[in-house]
Amino acid sequence: MTKMKMSVVVPTYNLDSYVSVLLKNLTNQTVNFELWLVDDGSTDQTASQLGEFVKGKPDFHAIQLKHGGVSVARNYGLRHATGDGIIFVDGDDMIAPNFVETLSQGLAEDAVMAAVGYEWYRRPATRAAGFMALDQKSVFDQVSHHGTEIGGYVWNKAFRISAIKAANLTFDESLNLAEDYLFTATFVARSPGKYVYSPHVLYTKRNRRDSTIHNASRADRQEEDRIFEQIYALRKWIK
């Protein structure tokens, strides 16, 4: 199996009481990887925690930006990543020790995107011993709707960086919600090829009362509706 170099990008913003768990998870990964911890202008101790964490680790980087939103942070990591594949992990969540290794193995099956199971209000219904191969159309149906097993989120997936570049794709920095759905759905619509999915739960989403999704305004929700209309229209690109 081809060995894939993986880059992991973690955006953070005021996660002082949460990020230490993820940092421990990153330390316990079963393979080596490149790490970009990108702080979005935190006003608590998050950035200092990240700076201490990367000391003495040449492939681990901690950067603090001015507050610009999660897409600004993710785009910074995307621009600087040097891996064959890229993984976006939210700074307040938890990952299994074999999370990076498993996604790397998925991309190494000549896939443009690999996804694993996640736990967030529910667990996957699918049962499989390893990765299942999926076609572009079926994956688009999964990532373009709320409540699906694979989901349109970026955090339980790895993307082949060459495919992202071929699609000329970045995160839309003007959006407050659904920026991850738009990124993932656009990637799938523009990236013909093999997709793989393993339903084993390797990512755990943690709920925060002060998170963006829990504090969205009515205008944010209306914007989200418009984004999903844009996402549904992408299906015509798939032949």
Which pLDDT value is given to residue 215? 56
Asked if the model's pLDDT at residue 208 lies above 80, the reply is no
> What is the SS3 assignment for 55?
coil
Distance of CA 165 to the CA centre of its chain: 16
> What is the SS3 assignment for 142?
helix
Q: What are the two backbone dihedrals, phi and then psi, of residue 145, each rounded to the nearest 5 degrees? A: -135, 150
Buried b or exposed e, range 136-156, using 16+ CB within 10 angstroms: beebbebbbeeeeebbbbbbb
End-to-end CA distance of the chain: 30
Question: Lowest mean pLDDT: which of 52-66, 89-103, 177-191, 218-232?
Answer: 218-232
DSSP 234: G
Which pLDDT value is given to residue 216? 55
| pTM of structure | 0.94
Q: What are the two backbone dihedrals, phi and then psi, of residue 21, each rounded to the nearest 5 degrees? A: -65, -45
Asked if the model's pLDDT at residue 212 lies above 70, the reply is no
Give the model's confidence band at 210: pLDDT under 50 very low, under 70 low, under 90 confident, else very high: low
Count the alpha carbons within 13 Å of 152 in the hemisphere toward its beta carbon.
25
Which pLDDT value is given to residue 219? 73
> CA 167 to CA 193: how far, in whole Å?
13
Residue type, 192: P
Query: What confidence tens digit (pLDDT) does each residue in 88-131 have?
Result: 999 999 999 999 999 999 999 999 999 999 999 888 989 998 99
Contact 102, 202 (CB under 8 A): yes
Asked if the model's pLDDT at residue 218 lies above 80, the reply is no
Share above pLDDT 70 across residues of the chain, in percent, rounded to a whole number: 94
Q: What is the DSSP string of 154-214?
A: STTEEEEHHHHHHTT----TT-SSSHHHHHHHHHHHH--SEEEEEEEEEEEPPP-TTSTGG
Asked if the model's pLDDT at residue 222 lies above 90, the reply is no
> What is the SS3 assignment for 60?
strand
Query: What confidence tens digit (pLDDT) does each residue in 53-99 have?
Result: 999 999 999 999 999 999 999 999 999 999 999 999 999 999 999 99
Asked if the model's pLDDT at residue 49 lies above 70, the reply is yes
Give the model's confidence band at 147: pLDDT under 50 very low, under 70 low, under 90 confident, else very high: confident
Contact 32, 60 (CB under 8 A): no
> CA 11 to CA 63: how far, in whole Å?
10
> CA 32 to CA 59: how far, in whole Å?
9
Closest alpha carbon to 31 in 80, 97, 106, 115: 97
